[in-house]
Amino acid sequence: MGFHAEILVQCTHCDIYAKDAFGPSSWGLPFGPEPVLKDFSWTWKKGEVWAVLGSNTSGKDALAYALAGEAVVRPREMEGSWVNKLGENDRKGIVLSFAEAEKALRYALRFDESDFVEGGQHPGLTVEGFLGIGSLDSVFEEGRYQRGDLSLLWETLGLEAVRTRGLKYLSTGELRKVLLFKAFLGAPSLLICEDLLEGLDARSRLELVQFFQRITEGNGKLPEKAVRSFSPSPGGDLWNYRFPAVLFLCDREDQILPSVTHILRLREGRVEQAGRWEGRSAQWRMRSIFVSLSVDSSSETHAESAVSRHCQIDFPGPSCQGAPLIRMKNIRVAYADRVVFEGLDFELYPGEHCFIQGPNGCGKSTLVKLITGDHPQGWMNDIVVAGIPRQIGERVQDVRMQTSLVSHELHRSFLSLEEISTLEVVLSGFFGTVGLYEPVGEERIAEAEEALRICGLTGYENRMFKDLPWGMQRLVLAARAFVRRPPLMILDEPCTGLDEEHRRILLDTLERIAGEAKPFGGPTILLVTHDPEERLSCMEAHLFFYQDGYTGNGQPRYRWKFTRASKPQTVPQQVGAEKS
């Protein structure tokens, strides 16, 4: 008699709806909302590790929230059935996504008292406060977890360095790690990870891959070897903690972890493929090579060789005659006992497209905010952008009109607006505002519609921005950046949440804009990303951050190096380091 694995989820001929399908927006529909997944059938058995692969409009988000008990599932008459054992016994599933990260940050803003304290700097809700633990010891005293349980997670995610930091000061990758830890704290029956490795640096990716590999090898528990390795005390074994079942949502095949055994490929609300995953070894080999190279580049010597490799391009660098587009001298940024920059010098010239790379928390997004005028400490530093010096009395709006931007913070700002359409988001790019507050003519409307068409978003003009999938929202912000061509275009992780098709559309559009910059004086592009495959062929300047030990208070110390394809004597190479 053969062995039959226990069924965890069995869906037979069901219609699955979007998470908020039956909200107020559906009340005016004569026949109600349409299901996202139609006549859907799928079975998940114990011991299987599934990845759901599909585009931004495939319906994988609807499936995720259905499994978590947050979306409506309607079995079809007679033959339909829905069994979800992962949602029984009052244990719910948790979805770890970029949308959930934004909710956490909006919640943290309630605790921000920067407007009421001297100096205008307040950490707001800290990591420990958000996790509701005060300290790890307090959780151990509750008896819910053994010390080894949380110590392993805490160490794997590297959260000790950010424990007392405000959520608003975390990088995108650091926030994702905090949310992952919080998810495990809730002891869910199911953890659904959307684009798990997006926004994470190479070292964090490698550590998480190894962590989830250990969980799946132990069938929900860590293997004995890992337990012994990470348990700091005899009472701290991990056998008492059962990790949740894990489901991965992926936009692209190169995001599939090596622990995945089965794949469910969705396309426009239909199942295209469901079965054992055979392509993982080849896909992961490419990413493993990149991760290994990046981790090996942690020392200054390796960092220099890494920068040298990345700067091999096919054409000479630009002429650096005239005034720089960005000039930053002896920059210092610090929060309480944490120094982000000390003595940073950075110059970038028109037409000199720049690639910025570095670990989570090294200051990349802080640098972007200094340039755009969105960082309060920028006004205390020597910064000139597009000929406008950063000084007291200078209007922030005048500074912003010199740049167009895609960033997580801008994304968050637009999500705070309840009623704004996709077209209105793009039109706001003409004015550099969050929201549309001025009338626009037919010519600008036509230009905005053309920007949406270029990004593959024709037909989405009247959709509410907040109702779009996360990746589509990101693409709308890219169209907003393209619609106006200021001197400087800054893109901070612009491909986050994009499927392969829309990722390629975005990168190809950037290549075309960069090509126009040289003969026609178009915008200079500054691209921030963890993925070297997203580097444009025109990127002839490279700002590279890397960790170089720790400060006296245990915070990571980062150094930086700036190189360009040609190094004219008028623009010397810049090297900097944080001082402890």
- Best CATH choice for the domain 1-92+245-296 from the list 1.10.1740.10, 3.20.20.140, 3.40.50.300, 3.10.20.90: 3.40.50.300
Report, as an integer, the average pLDDT of 218-242: 42
Which carries the bigger pLDDT value, residue 566 or residue 145? Answer: 566
Which tokens go with 265? 């490929």
572 or 162, greater pLDDT: 162
Task: Supply angle C-alpha 425, 430, 436, rounded to 5.
Answer: 45
User: Measured between alpha carbons, how far is 235 from 108 in angstroms, rounded to an integer?
Assistant: 35
pTM above 0.85, yes or no: no
Of 39-53, 112-126, 254-268, 340-354, which range is least confident? 112-126
pLDDT interval class at 65 (50, 70, 90): very high
Q: How high is the pLDDT of residue 201? A: 85
Tell me if residue 330 falls in helix, strand or coil: strand
Residue 532 above 90 pLDDT?
A: no
Name the band, by pLDDT with cuts 50, 70 and 90, for residue 137.
low
What fold is seen in the domain 403-485+488-522?
A: Rossmann fold (3.40.50)
- Spatial neighbors of 5 by CB under 8 A, at least 6 apart, are 45, 46, 47, 48
pLDDT at 24 over 70: yes
pLDDT in the model for residue 71: 92
Residues 6+ apart with CB under 8 A from 51: 247, 248, 249, 250, 256, 257, 260, 262, 263, 264, 277
Residue 433's closest CA among 415, 410, 454, 461? 410
pLDDT in tens, 433-457: 999 999 999 999 999 999 999 898 9
Cα 329 from Cα 347, distance rounded (Å): 9
Q: For residue range 280-314, what is the model confidence (pLDDT) as tens digits?
A: 544 544 454 344 444 444 444 444 433 333 333 23
What pLDDT does residue 418 have?
A: 81
Q: Which residues contact 296 (CB under 8 A, 6 or more apart)?
A: 302
Statement: residue 1 has pLDDT above 70: no
Q: Are 248 and 195 in contact (CB under 8 A)?
A: no
pLDDT digits (tens, 9 = 90+) for 331-389: 999 887 788 999 999 999 998 999 999 998 899 999 999 999 888 888 889 999 988 88
SS3 244: coil
Domain 1-92+245-296 and domain 403-485+488-522 have a common topology:
yes
Residue 76 clears pLDDT 70, i.e. is over it: yes
In the prediction, which pLDDT does 12 show? 96
At residue 124, the pLDDT reads 83
pLDDT for the residue numbered 102: 83
Residue 387's SS3 state is coil
Q: What is the mean pLDDT of residues 384-395?
A: 80
Other residues' Cβ atoms within 10 Å of the Cβ of residue 220: 14
| Main-chain dihedrals φ then ψ at residue 372, nearest 5 degrees | -80, -10
Residue 417 has pLDDT above 70, yes or no: yes
- Please provide residue 283's backbone torsions phi and psi, each rounded to the nearest 5 degrees: -65, -45
pLDDT of residue 282: 43
pLDDT value for 579: 34
The count of other CB atoms within 10 Å of the CB of residue 298 is: 17
Task: Decide if pLDDT at 220 tops 80.
Answer: no
- To the nearest whole number, what is the mean pLDDT of the chain? 79
Structural domain spans, the chain: 1-92+245-296, 93-187+190-243, 403-485+488-522
